[in-house]
Structure 1
Amino acid sequence: MRSAGRGRQSRGRRGRALGGSLGPWSPEASFFHYATRDVPFEAATPELRQHLTRDGRPALFTEYPDADRILLPRTPDPRLSAPLEQTLYRRRTHRSFSAQPVSLHDLAVLLRTVFGAADFIDGFEYGALIRRASPSGGARHELDAYLAAPNVTGIPAGLFHYNTREHSLELLREGFTHTEAEALCAQQEGTGQAAFIVFAVAAWERMRAKYRHPRAYRVSHLNAGHLGQTFALAATALGLGPFQSAAFDDTAVEDSLGLDSATHRTLYALAAGHPAPDTPTDTADLNAFRHTALRRGQPGRPDT
């Protein structure tokens, strides 16, 4: 049997190797990854069930009951019935958009498809839980949609919260510009032209109530990725150009939305608009492959 001392030495070597492999991401990324490895399984003991019954049932929905609201249309859209293969391979990341506004109908369809409740399931001691079109660890669905909309018809430019239960937009602040969008999203290409940006914000209480281990923090980021893929595919089916990004000023976004940054954290930015008509093709040509290492140890050609 390996001694505890040898085990600690082995873990120490793995930790140093991991830190070296992550390079400039360390020490933050290496600490997070190493500290959440090898999660123990926590069985649903009577004590845990008692805790969940007592105070482990956070509200299923986030709502702003005093906010002005816009009830969104529920009209179905046949474009979502396009063949899956067609939608998958049409999907592209867009960073150049026309000035044409996105219709309220298209926005409503997109929000309902990505963040709306498709159904409700029996979570036993947790009560009823939401089922969305995207998977979520433990069906916690801790991610809410906050909308920054500078160019959508039928609603004023502003900041909104998407109320999943009502299928409505709750007005947080009237007035929002493309310049503000760029400032919130690190001045990256496309944010100053997109018709709207949806910030996926984690309400930690919903996830933490069930999962006590910090590895659940990883799961929230995976859940954001699931939503991002559904967003990209649904936007593509509707004829919009999507992009997703983690490049944003967390504090500025959360301050703008009126969030406290302790109980709610922004994990992902999902944006869309009508693609610019002159968007160039990005297909790799022969010259691109000449500068590509196709196998380990093969350097790409230097620029000439």
Structure 2
Amino acid sequence: MKFKRAGNVGCYWRNGQFLIRNHRTRANIIADPIAARILDLFTDWADPQEAAKDAGLDPKSVDDAAAALHDAGVLLGQEDDTEDAPDERLRARWDPWAPEGAAFHFATRNDAFADASDELKDELAAGGRPALFKTYPDADRLFLPRSSTRLDAPLERVLHARRTHRAFSNRAIAREHLATLLSTTFGPKDFIAADQFGTLMLRTSPSGGARHELEAYVAVFDAEDVDPGIYHYSVRDHCLELIASGDYRPRLADLCGGQQGVEQAGAVVVLTAVIERLTSKYRHPRAYRVMLMNAGHLAQTFVLTATALGLGPFQTAAFHDEGVESLLGIDGIAEPALYVLTVGVPATDDQGRVTYLHGPTTLESAGITRFDATDRHG
């Protein structure tokens, strides 16, 4: 029988052992590193005897290894090869994201979750509690106004007014609006007693286990009474802690692929994650999903708050990680950058109407759109 390597296989070392894993099925075996060479023989359908002969290896050893790897689920047999086979469907649908995206998604599926018993909480808390706040005690600080602008616009109007803006005017963001945006999105709403984990913070957005691992760094380009520069937003003290003075608009725009929504904004907010805050409680890799979801929660609060203030928000995941992290002075390991949010005063036309990159739909755009699975006009 001929064999072929499964489409989502990874090889790596952990604790001194060589592991082979089919991320889709989560089949995980410990093997000799020579197994990687055996797997390489089966990039395409191949007979073990012929593959061994071509590679100058012992045919029986390769035959035995192929059978074992097939039983382990990292080699496919011809009888497994059908048009509807999971491996083929994965290749057809996930190929643009493979292997990295597919490996992460399927490797973190169907985790078994332990009950949150007091014994488990004690065990998790025994490793110590990471600091609730991050601060730069030696930095120059710009304290922001505590009397925030009222956010009394009706929720329905704010939800329907929300748009992603890419064109901004040259008007500066009001200092009070910047302060309100930061405090409403990232500031503490309340504090709770969380058993063995001590006091935890609550924000206006949800966070898995109230870990609130996300930090906000603010690059100010054009805001009233705020010098241009890169700052860390101190959640505890509601102030901007100066990291670097100067105009970083060209540099950040370049690191974000020259996007107009960054280049024309009045301020850029980079969301980062203090990994220890999450790993101190959640030890399974699925928690990485939670971290990304938390970034999305905060981003939605950010854009809705900006909209309620009459500002225009923009958000992007298209940025050069190491370049942005270097600019912020973080290492990208203990604290990586996850998301870039920007805000500015929306651009308007001669009649005072807000301008957008894309206007309303047209008959032409509808004509080239496939609206459902049975509509073949497009």
Deviates more, 1:194-203 or 1:6-15: 6-15
Cα distance in 2 between the residues matched to 1:15 and 1:133: 42
Structure 1 contact 19–30 (Cα < 8 Å) conserved: no
Relative to structure 1, is the Cα distance of residues 127 and 86 closer, same or farther in structure 2, using a 3 angstrom cutoff? same
AA in 1 matched with 2:265: A
Q: Alignment partner for residue 364 of structure 2, among 272, 287, 290?
A: 287
Structure 1 contact 292–299 (Cα < 8 Å) conserved: no
* Counterpart in the other structure of 1:243: 314
* Counterpart in the other structure of 1:44: 116
Does residue 62 (structure 1) correspond to residue 134 (structure 2)? The answer is yes
Cα distance in 1 between the residues matched to 2:319 and 2:163: 21
AA in 2 matched with 1:289: A
What secondary structure sits across from 1:55 in the alignment? coil
Gaps of 5+ in 1: none
Deviates more, 1:216-225 or 1:10-19: 10-19
TM-aligned CA deviation for residue 297 of structure 1: 4.7
User: After the TM superposition, which segments of 4 or more aligned residues of structure 1 sit over 2 Å from their partners?
Assistant: 4-20, 42-56, 297-301
TM-aligned CA deviation for residue 179 of structure 1: 1.0
TM-aligned CA deviation for residue 8 of structure 1: 5.8
* Counterpart in the other structure of 2:143: 71
Counterparts of 1:1-304 in structure 2 under 5 Å? 9=73, 14=86, 17-45=89-117, 48-78=120-150, 80-278=151-349, 279-280=355-356, 282-301=359-378
What secondary structure sits across from 1:190 in the alignment? helix
AA in 1 matched with 2:333: A
Cα distance in 2 between the residues matched to 1:169 and 1:176: 16
Structure 2 contact 230–244 (Cα < 8 Å) conserved: yes
Cα distance in 2 between the residues matched to 1:120 and 1:46: 21
Structure 1 contact 120–129 (Cα < 8 Å) conserved: yes
Structure 2 contact 162–307 (Cα < 8 Å) conserved: yes
Relative to structure 1, is the Cα distance of residues 152 and 109 closer, same or farther in structure 2, using a 3 angstrom cutoff? same
Cα distance in 2 between the residues matched to 1:224 and 1:300: 38
Deviates more, 1:232-241 or 1:12-21: 12-21
Deviates more, 1:42-51 or 1:28-37: 42-51
TM-aligned CA deviation for residue 46 of structure 1: 5.7
What secondary structure sits across from 1:247 in the alignment? coil
TM-aligned CA deviation for residue 209 of structure 1: 0.4
Structure possessing the higher radius of gyration over alpha carbons? 2
Aligned residues: 297
AA in 2 matched with 1:296: A
TM-aligned CA deviation for residue 240 of structure 1: 0.3
Relative contact order, higher structure (CA 8 A, sep 6+): 1
Provide, for residues 162-193 of structure 1, a one-character-per-residue CA deviation record: whole Å limited to 9, x for no partner.
Answer: 00000111000001232122112111222110
